[in-house]
Structure 1
Amino acid sequence: MSDTPTTAESPSVSRKIWRGVKWLLLALVLYFVWQQGAELYAEQGDTLTGISIDPLWLVLSAACYFIAWLPSVWFWRQLVLSSGEQVRFGPVARAYYCGHLGKYIPGKVSVLLIRATLLKDFGVRVSVAALTAAYETLAVMGVGLVVFLSLIPVVLNAEQVQQWPEWMQSVQARPWLVPGLFLLALFVSLPLLSRLLNLFAKKFTKSDVEATDSAPPAAFSLRLLYAGVLLFLVSWTLHGLSLGLALASINGAGLEWQEWPRWTAAVSAAYALGFLAIFAPAGLGVREGLIITILAGSALIGPANAFVAALLIRIVSFASEILAAFVLYYSFGKSASGEDDSVQSAADSQSIDSL
């Protein structure tokens, strides 16, 4: 009997310790970003205060950000359909973009809960919606991480490369060799990655989303995963363009197209590693720090513009998510049961007319 209180209290104590560690890590990251900003302002205060922003570029950046997530919506819907459920693209987009707002709540589970709950209104099982949402999230973030790693040689400056061994410098002389090898390795390893994604998706949802109905399928089509990866590559380049458009708004700089690989590397690193930083809601601080670090390495961008761009893309992405969630929520707010009722009413009306 004496062991019972200890057993009951230990999870609570460990949970409190882990919560404290998460808040400490978040505070350290935010302090690091704040310190970067303070040092930058001390060095280039006049430059920062003299910066002007063109809002038209930010509108284009927000639109590009919205479009960049559409491949993920398509992929998630295909996963749901392959699980035996039937749902239109609109309700899936509604659940997906509304789910974005859940990442601002500490922990990563709120995103899945929101998406699964909203799809439940359209007749999709909670277990299916949650598992497929987790699978999609892990897949798109995994591709983002590969994109970042493959673009590291492209964004390094000449001074950094000179410190490398000769054989690594020869590789750097062919800037698209490393990205090509990374992408080749990604596609060759997809069969194994497919099993891992299924395993992690189940683990990710096992204790966080209640599933009272029958379990969804254990695995998803490998062909679908290949198609998803191709679309995710397009998605990350569009996210990079969204960041480039935000940069273009600063002092009327316009688009420097040769920096597109750097934009893409910055965004993919920020989102993928920000997702892994479970202590930071929406990757707060982690994203900004990575974007600043990667963009500041370019002579065409510089530290001041990199700092402002990191803040702008956060504002732009949040505004785009809020607007998309609001419009889609009320545009596709009719549940599956309501649609069934309207279909039945129409059928009854036709029967009466035939009489």
Structure 2
Amino acid sequence: MPRETSWRRRFSAAVPWIRRAVFLLVLVGLIAATKESLLRWQNETETLRGQVDALMDQASMEPNVTRRAALVAEASRRESLIPSLGNLRWPMIACSGLFYTLGLLPPCWVLFRCLSALGVPCSLGRASAAQLLGHAGKYIPGKAMVVVLRVGAITPVIESTAGSTALIASAVFYETLLMMSVGGWVAGVLLWTSELPIWVRAMAALMAIGAIVPVCPPLMRRLIARVQKGIDHEDVLARLSWSLLVQCTIASLFSWLLIGLSFTLLIAAIPAFESIAILPSVGSLYWTATSAIALGMVLGFASLLPGGAGVRELVTLLILSPVIGATHALLAVIAARLMFILIESILAAFASLLIRRSATLSIRM
């Protein structure tokens, strides 16, 4: 017993240092992701400027006056469309940021609902803070930091009992897997109705079916019972019901629709550099943008890379490029990465502040 007490004291003394290490690790991940996105944006705009310079050089060597004037006019037009602080549609960007923020809120309720179903006494405010804080962990390899941050935010406010940490981790696991499954289903359904090749649409249909299978209660119960050894199997079987699945699926679906709207507005806020005969309206672009960002985020998550780096952008580009052009699509996915990091960082910082202020008391919002 004295040995156990001594171990606990040492662990308690190490907790502040562990928290500092986690904070630094998350901060480094966020900075690295932001730096990479900014560099990609800079490289792409420099490439566009190079195209403008090439047109001007071509115009200077063109002997035909009419042709030269046309080249100069085209170069001037393209130069005016290179994204800059002056020609971005900031009201649309502000609305995009607002809708993305709103899109992050339904999963907070899903986590709260899952915790309640598993018998974890946690307030909606504390669950929301934990959920938002966890987004900062996405930029660390392996995604494990997401679980660490969320479980660590909830554990201090509940009575520590055997299996309590496993119950919290199970709720986090359920919410995350459900969000990704609904995203895969949304992308699969929307891509099936698109004009993409039949083999792509067939794969989308299979993905839509396959995405929802893992969250069905019978399979989900087995998954959690296998992963979380600290939970009584029969207890989990009784708590993860079809009713819970329906409620949480509706909330997650609402979240994806808001994220899709956010991405659509962000695309519309960036000038279209390429000459496309007819650019789709915001309304018609919405479903393509939603399927693109949903599939990109789901496959990016499955890759286990920090923030789905590279995978999310590649998948989103494959769907968007035929509709709005490769350049516009690339700028849009880079802008989305930057905006998502900014909003998630602000919300995570706010959540961390609330958690610290609340100490051992539940947050009431």
Is 1:289 the equivalent of 2:314? yes
Q: For 1:92 and 1:132, how far apart are their aligned partners in 2?
A: 10
Q: Tell me the CA shift for residue 251 of structure 1.
A: 2.5
Closer, same or farther: CA 192–71 of 1 in aligned 2, 3 Å: closer
Q: Tell me the CA shift for residue 75 of structure 1.
A: 1.2
Closer, same or farther: CA 332–182 of 1 in aligned 2, 3 Å: same
Which residue does the alignment assign to 1:267?
293
Question: 1:149 corresponds to which letter in structure 2?
Answer: G
Q: Residue 195 of structure 2: which of 150, 156, 160 is its match?
A: 156
Q: Residue 228 of structure 1: which of 226, 230, 248 is its match?
A: 248
Q: For 2:82 and 2:48, how far apart are their aligned partners in 1?
A: 14
Q: Tell me the CA shift for residue 78 of structure 1.
A: 0.9
Is 1:130 the equivalent of 2:155? no
Q: Tell me the CA shift for residue 43 of structure 1.
A: 11
Question: What are the Cα deviations for residues 141-175 of structure 1, in whole angstroms up to 9, with x where unaligned?
Answer: 01111111111233325xx46xx8xxx9xx99xxx
Question: What are the Cα deviations for residues 82-119 of structure 1, in whole angstroms up to 9, with x where unaligned?
Answer: 11122211111111011011110110211011100000
Q: For 1:302 and 1:192, how far apart are their aligned partners in 2?
A: 36
Which residue does the alignment assign to 1:139?
178
Q: Residue 236 of structure 2: which of 218, 222, 228 is its match?
A: 218
Q: Tell me the CA shift for residue 255 of structure 1.
A: 5.9
- TM-score between both structures, scaled by the size of structure 2: 0.67
Closer, same or farther: CA 129–336 of 1 in aligned 2, 3 Å: farther
Aligned residue pairs: how many?
282
Closer, same or farther: CA 277–250 of 1 in aligned 2, 3 Å: same
Is 1:81 the equivalent of 2:101? no
SS of the residue aligned with 1:155? coil
Contact 2:125 2:362 in 1 (8 A): no
Question: What are the Cα deviations for residues 235-278 of structure 1, in whole angstroms up to 9, with x where unaligned?
Answer: 11111111011112112999611111101100110111111102
Contact 1:245 1:255 in 2 (8 A): no
Which residues of 2 match residues 79-228 of structure 1 at below 5 A?
Answer: 79-123=114-158, 125-157=164-196, 160=197, 193-203=216-226, 217-219=235-237, 220-228=240-248
Which residues of 2 match residues 8-47 of structure 1 at below 5 A?
Answer: 41=47, 45-46=51-52, 47=78
Q: For 1:41 and 1:155, how far apart are their aligned partners in 2?
A: 31
Closer, same or farther: CA 86–289 of 1 in aligned 2, 3 Å: same
Superposed CA RMSD in Å reads: 3.7
Closer, same or farther: CA 142–204 of 1 in aligned 2, 3 Å: farther
Q: For 2:359 and 2:82, how far apart are their aligned partners in 1?
A: 53
Gaps of 5+ in 2: 1-35, 53-77, 273-278
Question: 1:282 corresponds to which letter in structure 2?
Answer: G
Contact 2:129 2:351 in 1 (8 A): yes
Question: 1:249 corresponds to which letter in structure 2?
Answer: A
Q: Tell me the CA shift for residue 186 of structure 1.
A: 8.2
Q: For 1:195 and 1:45, how far apart are their aligned partners in 2?
A: 57
SS of the residue aligned with 1:121? helix
Is 1:308 the equivalent of 2:340? no
- TM-score between both structures, scaled by the size of structure 1: 0.69
Q: Tell me the CA shift for residue 205 of structure 1.
A: 5.3
Closer, same or farther: CA 203–118 of 1 in aligned 2, 3 Å: same
SS of the residue aligned with 1:65? helix
Question: 1:102 corresponds to which letter in structure 2?
Answer: G
Closer, same or farther: CA 310–88 of 1 in aligned 2, 3 Å: same
SS of the residue aligned with 2:142? coil
Contact 1:263 1:295 in 2 (8 A): yes
Which residue does the alignment assign to 2:101?
66
Q: For 2:165 and 2:215, how far apart are their aligned partners in 1?
A: 27
Gaps of 5+ in 1: 1-29, 173-177, 341-355
Q: For 1:216 and 1:103, how far apart are their aligned partners in 2?
A: 32
Closer, same or farther: CA 337–155 of 1 in aligned 2, 3 Å: same
Which has the bigger relative contact order, CA under 8 A and spacing at least 6? Answer: 1
Q: For 1:80 and 1:50, how far apart are their aligned partners in 2?
A: 48
Is 1:321 the equivalent of 2:344? yes
Contact 2:179 2:252 in 1 (8 A): yes
Q: For 1:287 and 1:69, how far apart are their aligned partners in 2?
A: 18
Closer, same or farther: CA 182–80 of 1 in aligned 2, 3 Å: same
Q: Tell me the CA shift for residue 67 of structure 1.
A: 1.1
Q: For 2:289 and 2:51, how far apart are their aligned partners in 1?
A: 24
